[in-house]
Structure 1
Amino acid sequence: MPFPKVVYYISGHGYGHAVRSIQIINELIKLGCKVIIKTTTPVFLFKEGLSRPVEILFEGFDVGLEQIDNIRFDLEKTKKSVIKLLASAEERIRKEQKFFSDQGISGIVCDIPFIPLAAAGRLGLPSVGISNFSWDWIYAHYGKWDPEWYSLSEAIRGYYREGDLLLRLPFYGKMEAFRRIEDIPLVTRRSEKEKDRIRLALDLPQDRKIGLVGFSQVELHDQGAKKIEQLSSEYLFLIRPPLNLESNIFRKVEGGEFSFIDLVCAADLVITKAGYGIVADCLSHGTPMIYSDRGEFPEYPILVEGIKSHLSCCYMPKEDLYSGNWESYLERLSSQPRIQPEIRTDGAQVAARRILEWMEIRKGP
């Protein structure tokens, strides 16, 4: 199939969907695909990660969760947004079908919006979902508190059923809506720079451990930063915008020569939430992790099992994260031997090849 044209739909919930999608898109580009991205994820992630510029259309096709910050979310606000999205689903399906026709689209990939899968399915256009969870499974979890979530979940499941193929990532939840499921290895990224060179170029101290605070937004309590600052003789913590923490123990590293994945490579440890993107980043470099909880999010316990199986790690309750009570967790992590993960990380290459194979199969003779 000469130079297929693919629309790649990416959830705007967090950065993990985009980070892994970028790796697959880079592989699709290598294989001769023209890719159009539709997402609400901030553009800087694509500028930083894509091997070459592609067309990006700022348009969202799922809600995810309405976040208060990187850890907390507003479930009632999320439900209202999901109801609104479902009310517009059929109209948006027709709009996407016209887009496919006008643009001469060969097939679509979704991580993991449901509306485009239905749009492609009804046209007989090849479609591939890629994820470790689907939103019907996430939302059904909240039905035990509010039964309306069950009906919303079932409506979403119906749209997922219209997709062709799911490439299922490791650390997955129940994804029963998909008619055909194939497992693929972890999709991740690696720094192309050496750890020592990064640390030297950033003029990082050799007599202190280097931590990376892997949040884009976290609000420390009034005395939190002062408590953390008491650790300054032993630690220096790197942060990236838009996170802004005022203390000499934090050093802000702007974009430019060094990307976020370079900082993961350079760090002795990462403090973060248990999200798929940062877990994959740490797994690809063997970087130890202190992780905090995410409230009632059903992906969380599955990711925690993956973290415990493959990384040096310890858990920090979010109350201690916000209050700056970090010392005991840092000591606990330091007492552990560093584990070198043994897990396949070539999922991007596997996924890209399978996407093109599937489009060729569905195209027929």
Structure 2
Amino acid sequence: MAAGSDRNKRRLLVYISGHGYGHVAQIAPVLNQLAQDQPHLALVVCSAVGESFLRSRIHVPFIYEPRRADFGMLMQSALEVDVAASVAAYLDFHADWDAKVEDEAAWISAQHADAVLSNVAYLPLAAASALGLPALSMCSLNWADILRHYAADPALDHVQQQMRHAYASARGFLRIEPSMEMPWLDCHAVGPVADMAQENRAVILQAIGLQHGSEHKLVLVGMGGISTQVSPANFPVLPGVHWLLPQAWMQGAERADFHAQEPLQMHFSTLLASSDLVLTKPGYGTFVEAACHGVPVLYVPRDGWPEQDCLISWLRVNGLCLHVDAGRLASGDFAGSLLEMLNAPKPQRVAPRGNREAAGWIARRLGLAS
């Protein structure tokens, strides 16, 4: 139980998946708005994501509980799903499903929670249902549909039944734009959600030894929080183009146009808002933040990840994007695509109207509105 001023507040238990950083990027702006609208709420964030990263995105007070309630899909890299390992993990996870629900319900009860919000673990929803607590999901996907896409195996039928029953036990599913179709769920649609950042371009240029001026182009590179090692050695060398890379990718590479992100000590959103282009994989957080900041996107498709089609279609309409396949990324044969994006007119910014829409619906649906 929280101490001091939190004792009389309603406690909302928020589960955030640790499958990449996109789930944090989705829910953090909504929590920031929710806490502003409902100051009587005390937030308890349960996640396998590290506390420092969570606090860099969630700007309102919260209690941190390191807890892993889902694993999504097991990955070989940010671009490749390990299907066999994922199937085995789900079969193991559901082997003692009733006991897992009972244990999670006991833990939730011990937190004195008034409601549960999940992005997008289903175990807490089943546990909340067992306790009679109001619960909601919010996300651009759900793990039942993702698993079925990769493995429509009859051996998983009981797993799918338990997953879908858990999702359906909640008071609703907040489907944020853009997202997969989920017709079997009780969905409520809201607009895009994104963390808006102030650009800090002049400071970045100074930090990497460049004079502030329009002749410099900054290309931000990131694959969304799942460990991926890409060698940038063959990335094209172009006049005025400078790469902001994850430090681990540089591996001692010494090029005047390569700069590590970490020494800049800026949030990824600030780097994105300050850049001329972002090179990434299809993922909700980076795609939507790029559209909301008017930054073009060069993307490397994933290996059939089912969510990517709706993200790409949405960004083509609401922003500016172009794809580069993994082979061209490795060979460095994408200078033409890079220059096409850098020389194109900047796209119009998209308003993250879902931040406020989602916060209002959550408060009303969970009975937490002041």
Residues 1:355 and 2:362 aligned together: yes
Paired residue for 1:239, among 242, 245, 253?
245
Deviations 1:285-314 (A, max 9, x none): 010000011102110111110111112211
Deviations 1:154-192 (A, max 9, x none): 3311211111111110122232343x3211111101113
| More contact order relative to length (CA 8 Å, sep ≥ 6) | 2
Question: Mean Cα displacement is larger for which, 260-269 or 209-218?
Answer: 209-218
SS in 2 for 1:278: helix
Counterparts of residues 264-283 of structure 1 (less than 5 Å): 264-283=272-291
Partner of 1:80: 88
Q: 8 Å contact 2:73–2:147 — kept in the other structure?
A: no
Q: 8 Å contact 2:12–2:43 — kept in the other structure?
A: yes
The letter for the 2-side match of 1:164 is R
Mapped to 1, the partners of 2:341 and 2:294 lie a distance apart of 13
Counterparts of residues 255-294 of structure 1 (less than 5 Å): 257-294=265-302
Q: 8 Å contact 1:23–1:188 — kept in the other structure?
A: yes
Question: Aligned in 2, Cα 1:315/1:193: closer, same or farther, shift over 3 Å?
Answer: closer
Partner of 1:24: 30
SS in 1 for 2:77: coil
Counterparts of residues 45-194 of structure 1 (less than 5 Å): 45-143=53-151, 146-149=153-156, 151-178=158-185, 180-194=186-200
Residue 235 of structure 1, CA deviation: 1.3
Residue 233 of structure 1, CA deviation: 3.0
Root-mean-square deviation over aligned CA pairs: 2.4
Give the TM-score taking structure 2 as reference length. Answer: 0.88
Question: Aligned in 2, Cα 1:21/1:202: closer, same or farther, shift over 3 Å?
Answer: farther
In the alignment of these two chains, the number of paired residues is 355
Question: Mean Cα displacement is larger for which, 277-286 or 98-107?
Answer: 98-107
Q: 8 Å contact 1:11–1:39 — kept in the other structure?
A: yes
Mapped to 2, the partners of 1:4 and 1:348 lie a distance apart of 21
The letter for the 2-side match of 1:4 is R
Question: Aligned in 2, Cα 1:99/1:151: closer, same or farther, shift over 3 Å?
Answer: closer
Q: 8 Å contact 1:62–1:85 — kept in the other structure?
A: no
Question: Mean Cα displacement is larger for which, 353-362 or 78-87?
Answer: 353-362
Residue 237 of structure 1, CA deviation: 0.5
Partner of 1:6: 12
Q: 8 Å contact 2:43–2:61 — kept in the other structure?
A: no
Deviations 1:16-49 (A, max 9, x none): 0012222222223322211111111233321312
The letter for the 2-side match of 1:276 is Y
Deviations 1:95-139 (A, max 9, x none): 222223222211000011111111112222111110111111111
Mapped to 2, the partners of 1:357 and 1:137 lie a distance apart of 27
- Fraction of identical pairs, as percent: 23
Q: 8 Å contact 2:171–2:365 — kept in the other structure?
A: no
Unpaired runs of 5+ residues, structure 1, are none
Give the TM-score taking structure 1 as reference length. Answer: 0.89
Deviations 1:259-288 (A, max 9, x none): 111110111000000101111110110100
Mapped to 2, the partners of 1:113 and 1:255 lie a distance apart of 34
